[in-house]
């Protein structure tokens, strides 16, 4: 069996997380989402996989290389061009990439699977392909049922009694939705579908190919599958998944490191004395982290590789990305933080450098910044420095948020 994973998108709704990291490479604890997908495909008997790339392509291609480590043959289809040493992205869309790969090598010579690279799932692909063959469809979509209040986030499919898709609705309002069966972005196709995709043109499956098939009366079926499907399309989704992973609620995502206390996991080469900190699990601390005495850590909390948590810092229900220095004056609560940005789950973001709070958040690989006399005086005049999330709220009210002194 062959498969295509769509990984060329820019992940706009995941900014700032996807600013330096392509969406499929965002880690769940320490494992990229795309790696979870490849492992799952391999476990389902898929032996050859093509990944289309464009945005930050080297991040993906250099990590996975030949795919031998995962027991599959892996190839990439880059969409763009290089000029003067700079890569320029020209993504072709979910359907355009299929046409391009087929023209290049004729890769799709039998029934094949297409899936998006930004979701965790444990779908029984063999059962999906068997259902596809049973109906003789040209295209089969894996569907799952969501609560009515969530249909506005997805594309909805309306089926007849035989499972044939009669119509689609794209992100309908709950009261207008004709179904709560949503498209999960997992498809099974016959190679003939490529005839419906024009050459050298950005083209989309959902908005262009499927309607064309429907107009021609071709068989498109939807199969409701009972499986875990976790979409990380938005910052809030990603934050929620990470909270579940830290708590050990995702069976395929083991918590890294050694459990030194109940629900407190610590990686190798980490300097941390839990007797000298206030800690409440679940907490996962990656490799080579430094946590100074006097820090407060309240879970669910993840601290990424190479980070430094200074004495007196307070961290609660947050994600700290790799190589982040959290200053002694910081209070992080319910945020996602790195050395270059700090975001709330709703996506609102501040830049520590531009907003003058680099002494709260910075890159741990840069020299430690000591407070000057004026900054120290300011801190002595207040009882508690506001949490970073309050700074973000200040920014929401006052876009030109500036230093508090």
pLDDT tops 50 at residue 213: yes
Q: Which of 155-186 are b and which e, b meaning 16 or more Cβ less than 10 Å from the residue's Cβ?
A: bbbebeeebebeebbeebeeeebebbbbbbbb
What pLDDT, on a 0 to 100 scale, did the predictor assign at position 394? Answer: 59
What pLDDT, on a 0 to 100 scale, did the predictor assign at position 389? Answer: 61
Nearest Cα residue to 301 out of 334, 261, 259, 268: 334
Task: Report the C-alpha gap between 3 and 366 in whole angstroms.
Answer: 42
Q: What percent of the chain has pLDDT over 70?
A: 91
Determine the Cα angle at 205 with ends 204 and 211, to 5°.
105
Beta-bridge mates of residue 385: none
Higher-confidence position of 367 and 185 = 185
pLDDT tops 80 at residue 352: no
Task: Return the minimum-mean-pLDDT range out of 8-12, 53-57, 69-73.
Answer: 8-12
Nearest Cα residue to 116 out of 198, 3, 223, 219: 3
Q: How confident is the model at residue 348 (pLDDT cuts 50, 70, 90)?
A: confident
What pLDDT, on a 0 to 100 scale, did the predictor assign at position 153? Answer: 86
What pLDDT, on a 0 to 100 scale, did the predictor assign at position 403? Answer: 33
pLDDT tops 80 at residue 380: no
For the chain, how many residues are written? Answer: 405
Q: How confident is the model at residue 382 (pLDDT cuts 50, 70, 90)?
A: low
Task: Report the C-alpha gap between 371 and 169 in whole angstroms.
Answer: 55
What pLDDT, on a 0 to 100 scale, did the predictor assign at position 291? Answer: 97
- 81: burial class by Cβ within 10 Å (0-12, 13-18, 19+)? exposed
What pLDDT, on a 0 to 100 scale, did the predictor assign at position 399? Answer: 46
In this predicted model, what pLDDT tens digit does every residue of 282-301 receive, in sequence order?
Answer: 999 999 999 999 999 999 99
pLDDT tops 50 at residue 171: yes
Q: Is 176 helix (H, G, I), strand (E, B) or coil?
A: helix
Mean pLDDT for the stretch of residues 331-356: 84
Helices (H), 14-145: 33-43, 57-64, 93-105, 125-135
Tally helices (H) and strands (E) across the chain. Answer: 8, 31
Mean pLDDT for the stretch of residues 256-283: 95
pLDDT tops 60 at residue 383: no
Sheet containing strand 258-261, edge to edge, reads 258-261, 264-266, 283-285, 301-303, 319-320, 336-337, 342-343, 349-350
3-state secondary structure labels for all residues of 213-276: HHHCCCCEEEEECCCCEEECCCHHHHHHHHHHHHCCCCCCCCCCCEEEECCEEECCCCECCHHH
């Amino acid at each position: 069996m062959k498969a295509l994973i769509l990984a060329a998108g820019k992940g706009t709704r995941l900014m700032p997380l996807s600013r330096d990291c392509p969406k499929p490479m965002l880690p769940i604890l320490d494992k990229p989402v795309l790696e979870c997908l490849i492992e799952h495909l391999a476990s389902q008997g898929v032996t050859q996989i093509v990944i289309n790339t464009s945005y930050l392509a080297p991040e993906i291609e250099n990590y996975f290389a030949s795919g031998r480590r995962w027991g599959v043959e892996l190839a990439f289809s880059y969409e763009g061009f290089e000029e003067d040493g700079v890569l320029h992205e020209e993504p072709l869309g979910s359907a355009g990439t299929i046409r391009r790969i087929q023209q290049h090598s004729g890769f799709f010579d039998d029934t094949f699977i297409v899936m998006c690279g930004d979701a965790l799932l444990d779908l029984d692909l063999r059962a999906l392909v068997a259902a596809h063959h049973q109906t003789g469809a040209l295209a089969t979509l894996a569907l799952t049922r969501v609560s009515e209040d969530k249909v506005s986030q997805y594309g909805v499919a309306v089926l007849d009694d035989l499972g044939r898709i009669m119509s689609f609705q794209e992100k309908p309002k709950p009261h207008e939705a004709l179904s709560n069966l949503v498209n999960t972005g997992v498809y099974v196709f016959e190679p003939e579908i490529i005839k419906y995709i024009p050459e050298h043109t950005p083209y989309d499956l959902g908005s262009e190919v499927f309607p064309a098939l429907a107009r021609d009366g071709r068989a498109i079926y939807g199969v409701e599958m009972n499986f875990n499907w976790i979409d990380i399309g938005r910052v809030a989704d990603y934050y929620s998944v990470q909270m579940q992973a830290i708590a050990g609620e995702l069976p395929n995502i083991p918590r890294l490191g050694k459990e030194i206390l109940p629900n407190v996991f610590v990686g190798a080469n980490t300097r941390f004395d839990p007797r000298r900190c206030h800690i409440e699990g679940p907490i996962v601390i990656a490799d080579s982290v430094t946590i100074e005495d006097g820090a407060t850590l309240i879970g669910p909390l993840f601290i990424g590789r190479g980070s430094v948590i200074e004495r007196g810092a307070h961290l609660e229900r947050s994600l700290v990305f790799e190589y982040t220095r959290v200053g002694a004056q910081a209070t992080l609560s319910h945020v996602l933080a790195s050395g270059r940005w700090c975001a709330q789950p709703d996506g609102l973001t501040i830049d520590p450098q531009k907003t003058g709070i680099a002494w709260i958040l910075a890159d741990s690989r840069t020299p430690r910044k000591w407070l000057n006399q004026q900054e120290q005086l300011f801190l002595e005049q207040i009882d508690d420095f506001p949490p970073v999330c309050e700074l973000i709220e200040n920014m929401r009210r006052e876009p030109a948020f500036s230093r508090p002194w």
